[in-house]
Amino acid sequence: MNAPKRSVISKSWAPVRTHAGIYTGGKVQLSPQRPGVEAGSTFACMLQDDVAVVDATTGALLFTLQADKLDEEKEAILSFALRPKHNHIVTASRNSLLRLWDLETRTCIRTIKTTDVPILCMDFDPTGTLVATGASDRCVKVYDIEKGFVTHNFKKHSGIVTLVKFHPDAKRLQLVSASDDSTVRVWDLVAQKEVGCIKDHMSPATTVAFSNDGYTLLSSGRDKVINFWDLRKQVLVKTVLAHESIEGLVVLPSPPSDGIVFATAGEKGVVKQWKLSSGAICSVVASQSSDNSLTHDQDDSTSPHVAYTDLLVNAARTVCQYLGNELVAVTSEHNFLLLDQATLLRTRQIIGFNDDILSLKFVPSADGNGLSDRIVAATNSNQVHNKRV
């Protein structure tokens, strides 16, 4: 009895283009400005246990850090941070090592041994000299990335450190950290001590941001409030009820006369733009429409909300000093929505991960003659993906 013939792919066919996954959840960071390269031209994000570098315009995967390694040689990367003014990235992995990578050559150029606990968050100072880390041992440490030693070690948190962020003014040498003890702490690197502690959150803060003048700290979290903290007096200025868990908050460029203009994104899957005036009155001045978000049902009780997990602002893609910035909203389904800041209209979308693809169809051309260069894909998501091929 003859064995059944096996199905094989014809050798006459070869892939012309592949759309691979670029993001599986976790941190996303736009590239900082460096000599000859504008900020936001690429972004880095977590892809399984690796870091992917992606073209911010096309959404194409440029490379992953450990692509040249065998599976058994790859390290499980937990967090990363892009280095300002350099084409470098620092990663923290489960083997307690900080690695500094050159993104041009895709090679590790420096290794620093850390403590034997997972590092969960990192951030560079504006000069690209110092990198702060937050870990599960409740410590906030600052490393000199060039010399490879610890410059500061802060230990006042009573919970896992989930967020660290440097003040954008390099001269101030201040660092902010948040922990699952629901506190946000401000550290002075010159005085080497804590100079402020925010205890006004009922749950861990998920995001912090600085006002354009650098004197106000904004913090938000899953307790559905936004706190405004005066960094000069170290006092709470105002608390605003957001009516949703906030996962992303960014301060937008604006004239000083407008006060503090910022945008939020969270569990409801809608980007909102707010303004805090000089009279401490905070109000929503713009909101992403339902037709422009990922939810189209007007009934919130039955609508399949796709929550936002992060929000970034790409100030490089702008037409003037205060208008035209591009907002990047990251969804819980691992996609990226790019919005115009002025209108909050979606300009394009980058699919981060397809998961199970159930069906593919080419879209007919506009004139009805043949097919266009776009396909639609039905996956196990609530959304139908439209892609250019």
Cβ atoms 126, 84 nearer than 8 A: yes
pLDDT score recorded for residue 319: 43
Among 196, 225, 256, which residue terminates a domain?
Answer: 196
Residues 157 and 113 in one domain: yes
Residues 73 and 182 in one domain: yes
User: Considering the domain boundaries, does residue 327 fall inside one?
Assistant: yes
Number of domains into which the chain is organized: 3
Q: Which domain holds residue 364?
A: 356-388
Query: Rounded to whole angstroms, how far apart are CA atoms 204 and 183?
Result: 7
CA 307 to chain centre: 14
Beta strand spans in 103-171 (E): 107-113, 119-124, 130-135, 140-144, 149-154, 161-166
In this predicted structure, the answer to whether residue 357 has a pLDDT above a threshold of 80 is no
Residues 134 and 116 in one domain: yes
pLDDT score recorded for residue 369: 74
Residues 289 and 309 in one domain: yes
pLDDT score recorded for residue 297: 36
Q: What is the DSSP string of 308-352?
A: EEEEEEETTS-SSSSS-PEEEEEETTSEEEEEETTT--EEEEEE-
118-149 pLDDT, tens digit each: 999 999 999 999 999 999 999 999 999 999 99
**Model confidence band, residue 1 (pLDDT cutoffs 50, 70, 90):** low
CA 271 to chain centre: 15
CATH code of the domain in which 118 resides: 2.130.10.10
pLDDT score recorded for residue 158: 95
Residues 183 and 251 in one domain: no
Q: Among 119-128, 185-194, 309-318, 331-340, which stretch is predicted with the lowest mean pLDDT? A: 309-318
pLDDT score recorded for residue 296: 38
CA 69 to chain centre: 26
Tokens of 25: 């959840």
DSSP state of 7: P
The total of other beta-carbon atoms located within 10 Å of residue 198's CB is: 21
pLDDT more than 70, % of the chain: 87
Query: Rounded to whole angstroms, how far apart are CA atoms 247 and 289?
Result: 19
Query: Rounded to whole angstroms, how far apart are CA atoms 87 and 89?
Result: 7
Among 196, 229, 251, which residue terminates a domain?
Answer: 196
Residues 381 and 325 in one domain: no
Tokens of 97: 């090592």
Mean pLDDT over the full length of the chain: 87
Q: What is the mean pLDDT of residues 23-44?
A: 87
Q: Among 17-31, 83-97, 176-190, 355-369, which stretch is predicted with the lowest mean pLDDT? A: 355-369
Residues 348 and 217 in one domain: yes
User: Considering the domain boundaries, does residue 188 fall inside one?
Assistant: yes
Residues 287 and 144 in one domain: no
Residues 162 and 223 in one domain: no
Query: Rounded to whole angstroms, how far apart are CA atoms 207 and 376?
Result: 34
pLDDT score recorded for residue 301: 40
User: Considering the domain boundaries, does residue 178 fall inside one?
Assistant: yes
pLDDT score recorded for residue 387: 67
Q: Which of 65-79, 97-111, 362-376 is most confident?
A: 97-111
pLDDT score recorded for residue 83: 97
Residues 31 and 175 in one domain: yes
Among 196, 219, 236, which residue terminates a domain?
Answer: 196
Cβ atoms 204, 180 nearer than 8 A: yes
Q: State the Rg of the chain over Cα.
A: 22
CA-based torsion, 62, 355, 47, 55: positive or negative: positive
271-330 pLDDT, tens digit each: 999 999 876 678 888 888 655 554 433 344 444 568 999 999 986 654 444 455 799 999
Altogether, the residues listed in the chain come to a count of 389
